[in-house]
Structure 1
Amino acid sequence: MTRARLNIFIEPEHAKRLDQIAAHKGVSKSAVIAAALASFLSPDGEDQREAAIAKRLDQLSRQFDRLERDQNVLIETVALYVRYFLTVSIPVPEGQQEAARAQGRARYVQFIEQLARQIQRGRSLVREVHEDIGPAAADPTQADAQSGTDADAMEVPREPA
């Protein structure tokens, strides 16, 4: 099979990238250009590109769905905590407010330390929640019925001495 010789001009960045790909694959620059041109001119080339784009969009959609799910868990967690806190906390008498603030600062420091440990271990509360829910996560009506926490598995902050 004879091949036609072409003299082409390409951008310097493309020439550099062509050199890198040819060296990496261990083939000639002509082979890389021939494969790229065959792919571009192939009648199935458009279908392949469309399939690749559709696959990537599906991956992005799944990632977005997971982010949305995790965000909803976080929003509901904060909302539930705020409701609980506002329901059970009693007003602090004026004479004890400074001591309450000091205790609050100490609790905050303890919270940040516990959060850092959780992150350093690579554990995710959101992931744990989804594992606890299991298959019910797919059905929101069952998720409400099976919701609850495992208090034994959570680290409970202790009062500073």
Structure 2
Amino acid sequence: MTLEQQLILLAHIQFTARHFIALRVTLEKLIELIAYSIGTAAPDADQIRNFLIKESTQKTLESEWETALWRSADRNQSWRLICLAVTADPEVAKRLLARRPPSPDCCAFCWQDEKGFTDALKPELDIYNNPVSGVHLHRQCSRPWHLMRALVARN
């Protein structure tokens, strides 16, 4: 796969994440959504699959494209695609931080449910390294959550 094809794939993975905000699907469905986003110029499904499952791709998406991608620990081995973009508006960030997920088994940032796999969620820690009650986050979701906290604290 050429560098240009990789950049197109990264852009469309990010576009899909921003469109759905938080998505839990099978790898096949994720490949189908990304290929549909690209259109007729999409690489074949096997190339997309190989690109998505590489750890380097997942790290690149998280660090440079504001997108988290990982295979969850559930029985179906579903995949998560989460938009990690953070608002620049302090009032919106305050509202987002005040929302509480419907269950303690949900991530406070993306609201993805982890029933039975609570080790996938880590409690948020305050500045004294004590857990904040009721706030559990995926490893990938903790960075944007803390960025929103910092934005609200500055204003």
The bucket for the TM-score relative to the shorter chain is under 0.3
Output the TM-score relative to the length of structure 2.
Answer: 0.20
Higher RCO (CA-CA < 8 Å; seq separation 6+): 2
Larger radius of gyration: 1
- Higher strand proportion (structure 1 or 2): 2
